[in-house]
Amino acid sequence: MIIVLNQNAAEEDVEKIKRKMISLGCEIHESRGTNYHIFGLVGDTSCIDPSLIEANRNVDRLISVQEPYKKANRLFHPEKTVVNVEGKEIGGGEFTVIAGPCSVESEEQIVSIAESIKESGAAFLRGGAYKPRTSPYSFQGLGEQGLELLKLAREKTGMPIVTELMSPDKIGKFVADVDIIQIGARSMQNFDLLKEVGKTSKPVLLKRGMSATIEELLMAAEYIMSEGNERVILCERGIRTFEKYTRNTLDLSAIPVIKKYSHLPVIVDPSHASGYWWLVEPLAKAALAVGADGLIIEVHNDPANARCDGQQSIKPERFKALMDILGKMARVINE
C-alpha cells in the first residue's frame, strides 16, 4: 500500500501519520521528489483501515500495490535509481560497460585485458575469482589469489572491480576488496546469500537465474533491499528455453518490462546469453536499443586458451570496435 501525501502537508502531520503506521506494525519506505511525497508501506497492512487514512486531510490518495515486490517497485520509488560506484553512475543515463575475462587467470592476463578495455572506454573490470562451474572437475577460479590480482589490476588502471560472491562466509573480504559484488545466476535464489549482501552497503549486481521469471528476479532484489541495501543493479543474462543454437535465450523484452515495474537499473550480459563470441555484438546493440543501462561483456586476450568461457569471449580489438559502434548508437538514441 502506498500513501500519497498532499504536497502542502505540514511536517508534524506527516510525522503523526508515520508514527501511526509504525505503531500498526508497518515498515515505512519514504520517498520524496519535486512533485511527490509518498510512504510505501511494507509488512502486514491488513489492520489498516483505508477509509480512515483517506479521510486524513494530509493524504491525497491511497494506492494498493498488487505486486509482491515493494521496495523494488517503481510505485514505491517513482524516480529511477542511480547507483553511484566510485564516482561512476549506473542507471543515470550513461551507457555503462563492464568488461573483462570470465575468470582471472594470471597477473599478465588480467592486467593486459584491464588496460585494453579501459582504453576502449569500459567503466568497470569484471573477472571471476570464485567460479560457479557446472562440473566440479572444471577450473574453479584462483580464489583469494584471483581477488588479489583483480585488486592489482584496479591499482594499475584505476578501474573499479566486479566479481562474484558465491558464499556468505567470504562476505567480509568482498566488502573490503570489491567495488560491486556480483550474485550469479545460479545464486539468484540463495536467500541467505541475498540477505547477507543486503546487510552491507556495497552495490550488488544481481543476475537473473537461468529459469527465473522477471518477478522472481525482482523478488530476489527485494530480499537484498529488505535488509537495507538499495544499491541493486539487475542483469538479464539469458534464460533457458528449448532453443539449442544459443547457450541461453536473451530475453530482450525483460529490459522494458523491468523498467516499467521497477526503478532499479538493468544491464545485459550478451556473452552468457548467447554462448558465442560472434553473437555478442548484435545482442549488445540490441540491449542498448531496448533501453538497457549498460552491459557486462566477457573479453579475453587469448580466447582459444581461456580457462573458462573462451568461446563466448571477444578479443580486445573486437571490444574496441564494438565500443565505437555503441558510442555512435548511443548518440543517435539520445538525440
- Which residues of this chain interact with Mn ion, rule CB under 5 A? 102, 309
CB of 184 to ligand PEP, least distance (A): 3
Return the number of the residue (77 or 207) whose C-beta is nearest ligand PEP: 207
Give the nearer residue to ligand PEP in terms of CB position, either 40 or 294. Answer: 294
Interface residues with ligand PEP (CB under 6 A)?
Answer: 102, 128, 132, 184-186, 207, 237, 269, 272
Looking at the Cβ atoms of 39 and 130, the one nearer to ligand PEP is: 130
The item of Mn ion, ligand PEP, none sharing an interface with residue 71, based on CB under 5 to 8 Å by kind, is none
Which partner from the list Mn ion, ligand PEP, none does 232 bind, CB cut-off 5 to 8 Å by kind? none
Q: Which does 91 bind (CB under 5 to 8 A by kind): Mn ion, ligand PEP, none?
A: none
**Centroid of chain to Cα 128:** 16
Q: Which does 202 bind (CB under 5 to 8 A by kind): ligand PEP, Mn ion, none?
A: none
Nearer to ligand PEP, 184 or 198 (CB): 184
| Least distance to ligand PEP, CB of residue 53, Å | 43
Please, what is the minimum distance in Å from the beta carbon of residue 56 to Mn ion?
53
**CA 50, CA 24: separation in Å to the nearest integer?**
13
| Residue 100: closest CA among 166, 149, 165, 45 | 149
Read off the DSSP letter of residue 186: G
* Distance in angstroms (rounded) separating the CA atoms of residues 229 and 180: 13
Cell of 31: 520517498
Residue 132 in contact with residue 186, Cβ under 8 Å?
yes
**Position with the least CB separation from ligand PEP:** 184
From the list ligand PEP, Mn ion, none, partner contacted by residue 281 (C-beta under 5 to 8 A by kind): none
Give the nearer residue to Mn ion in terms of CB position, either 293 or 309: 309
Q: Which is nearer to ligand PEP, 91 or 100 (CB)?
A: 100
- Per partner kind, with CB cut-offs from 5 to 8 A, the member of ligand PEP, Mn ion, none near residue 40 is none
Q: Give the C-alpha separation, 233 to 138, whole Å.
A: 29
Amino acid sitting at position 105: E
**Contact criterion met (CB below 8 Å) for 100 and 299:** yes
Determine the Cα angle at 231 with ends 261 and 99, to 5°: 95
Q: Write down the least CB distance from residue 187 to ligand PEP, Å.
A: 7
Beta strands in the chain (DSSP E): 2-5, 27-32, 37-42, 59-63, 83-85, 88-90, 96-100, 124-126, 161-164, 180-183, 204-207, 232-236, 266-268, 294-298
Smallest distance, ligand PEP to C-beta of residue 29, A: 29
